[in-house]
Chain A
Amino acid sequence: MNRRTVVKGLLLFTGGLVLAPSCVMETSKASIRLRNLDISGEDEKLMGELVETILPTTDTPGGKTLGLHRFTLKMVDDLRGEKDQKAFMAGLDGFKKLAKKQVGSSFVEASPQKRQELVSAVNAGKAPEDVVAFYRMVKDHTITGYLNSELVMTKLRVYELVPGRYNAYFPVKTKQQS
């Protein structure tokens, strides 16, 4: 497939969520309506850079372009119980503090390399428990959102709504193919 076409068409694929940001962005508020989570515009930016670090833009769009940060916030807000939501908020706070401490600036202001270093440590579980718990939630929803995005499902790993067949003995090569 021609991946350039995909990049050109990326405006079509925003994680499938129709989330119109308000015209005048107030920095103090998140761009989507959340019922349980108290998320600021700054937090949303942080989430954007975090999902972009988890799934970066390569020759295909990454997490931020696909809106997976907003998707993650919405899923935590709607699907998770109060306990998880509290843990999420506490972990988000912890993550911000950890960034300040280790990077010396906010996660958003940090260079991509610094961000990667921090996420690498958290991903390996080398961070306070609440931060790791927060990160796992973000990563889970980011992966789900990515694999279930219009881009992936129609272009990169095509989901067939109407297969029209069942081959019970489908020959495959076991080695991963590039």
Chain B
Amino acid sequence: MANLNVDSVKQRTFDAIVIGSGMSGGWAAKEFTGKGLKTLVLERGRDVKHIKDYPTTNMMPYEFEHRGELTAEMREKNPVVSRCYAFREDAMHFFVKDTEQPYVQEKPFDWIRGQQVGGKSLLWARQTQRWSDLDFEGPARDGYAVDWPIRYKDLAPWYSYVEKFAGISGNNDGLAELPDGEFLPAYPLNSVEDYFKKQLKSHYGNRHVISARCAHLSKPNQIHLDQGRAQCMNRVICQRGCPFGGYFSSNSSTIPWAERTGLMTLLPHSVVQEVIYDDKAGKATGVRVINAQTKETTEYYAPVIFVNASAFSTNQILLNSTSDRFPNGLGNDSGLLGKYVAFHNYRARITAEYEGFQEYATDGRNPAGGGYIPRFRNLHKQETDFLRGYAAGFRADRGQESDTSGFGVDLKKQLLNPSWGIWKVGSHMMGETIPKAESQLSLSKTRKDDWGIPLLNINLDYDANDNKMVADYHAQMEEMFTKAGFTNIKKTDSHQAPGLDIHEMGGVRMGHDPKTSLLNRYNQLHACPNVYVTDGACMTSTSTQNPSLTYMALTARAVDHAVSEMKKQNI
């Protein structure tokens, strides 16, 4: 018996454990296995194999029972996830339904989750921008949150490292606020997007429209072909999973790459209850896992553990990882675990029309989605009555339209012979929100989920700074649109709840000081250095960039650090 137990423990012992297989977990898996470590990857959802498990990927619109729409029943039963733009008939199987995993909205929060191998990397909008020092220095300059313990120079080589592998299309635009990278050819701006770019340049000088940088293989390199991926085919139905591997996802890229080493053990249906801390050893020794289907509990062990469960789930796991040493959650000496969470303000939009460029339309589809306007407010110094600023998307579309006012032979003719409409332009805001102590996550004292884990209480909201920013975005964009000669300008504020941006961040923030932060400059828990957090939970502030690329770079950097620390026997 004793021997059997020893064997069993041995079988459940790895060189590294990674919790989560999404954007950052996939990278941790790839990096650890690439460095020769026997790695266990735990995923609470089901397995999704590249191509094989994309059931809708090659379906024509008429093959969907409801032509892509959600049924009334689906919307009624799942009000939260139904508000997500990508939760439609073609991809709804990749989202967590409201009823499957409840949480407590102390204030309204639309928690959009993708729990399967690959996580939300299957579903993301694929926009990828680097942070600059204007972002990393934000909290120190403007006196909020705490100072980031890293600067651009710390992350720059790792941005390059992950960009080369993931495949990022874009231009080197030479902007201090949005550092250039290792780019595949950019998707070009169309005539009206180009026109707006020139208009901004001439009216403002320091406001820019660039080709949106995105994780699409516009022209694959050998490293991408080696992954089994091919050129993006401009389908722009990415949320179904891409049979070409045209965009980056864990499923198409990092996970199969890790698998090929023979060193990865991937366990789907594995709900991590807690990270096990050994008070005597003074370190984390493994994780306790509940099988999502059988509810059987198993422990797995490793000298280093990466928590990449997605920002808020990572908080939940750490809060639930209690021990004599850490009664309030793993590494939570400061009492700040779960606090200072934030998100991106996506409430505001503006649309208009443009009469010009009647001689051009577009043909095919642009996977980058159009243009990107980097942050221009409060960039080098404080210049408004609100803190920080916003980036914005900008796109122009020209569609074919039919007059549908009639009926009969005339209507049919109209539908089959559409004519080019005028250009429609639109922009959406991506605003930084300020992390605050009162914006926090905690564990429910009364309610538990099907696996006996306390539900997560979510408590965060917009504040006066966010409202001022929405007003400024509207005013500035309206001015820019007007100067460009756009007409029929319409501004909207969706007042959507936080969460629908799907950019929730923080709660396990990085910082210099263990008294005011949870993680050090290498994403190790100050108080438990063999546990690393490199998903959105680690973010000290949010800035305005789409965050995934930064998580990837932080993860690759942290694994490199962890392996070097293991060699030095520091962890």
Contact = CB atoms under 8 A, between A and B. Distances in A.
A157 interface: yes
A172 B359 contact: yes
Interface string A69-109: 00000010011110000000000000000000000000000
Interface in A135-178: 139, 143-150, 152-154, 156-157, 159-172, 174-178
A34 B153 CA distance: 62
Contacts of A56: 408-409, 412
Contacts of A123: 406-407
B234 to A, nearest CB: 5
Given A159-B60, A171-B359, A144 B412 contact: no
A55 interface: yes
Among A159, A161, A164, A168, the one with the most B-chain Cβ atoms within 10 Å of its Cβ is: A168
Interface string B192-226: 01000000000000000000000000000000000
A78 B66 contact: yes
Contacts of A116: 408
Looking at chain B's contact residues, the main secondary structure is loop
B269 to A, nearest CB: 31
Interface string B279-305: 000000000000000000000000000
A66 B418 CA distance: 20
B89 to A, nearest CB: 10
Given A75-B66, A174-B358, A166 B364 contact: yes
A95 B317 CA distance: 59
Contact of B62 (A150, A165, A168): A150
Contacts of A28: none
A172 B188 contact: no
Given A56-B412, A169-B360, 19 more contacts: A55-B415, A60-B412, A78-B73, A79-B70, A120-B407, A143-B411, A148-B62, A153-B61, A156-B416, A161-B235, A163-B233, A163-B364, A163-B365, A165-B364, A166-B366, A169-B188, A169-B191, A170-B362, A172-B359
Interface of B: 58, 60-63, 65-67, 69-73, 76, 187-191, 193, 233-235, 358-367, 404, 406-409, 411-412, 415-420
Interface of A: 15-16, 53-56, 58, 60, 62, 75, 78-81, 116, 119-120, 123, 139, 143-150, 152-154, 156-157, 159-172, 174-178
22 contacts: A53-B408, A55-B407, A55-B412, A58-B412, A79-B69, A79-B70, A79-B72, A146-B415, A147-B415, A148-B62, A156-B416, A161-B235, A162-B233, A163-B235, A164-B233, A164-B234, A166-B362, A167-B363, A168-B191, A169-B188, A171-B359, A174-B419
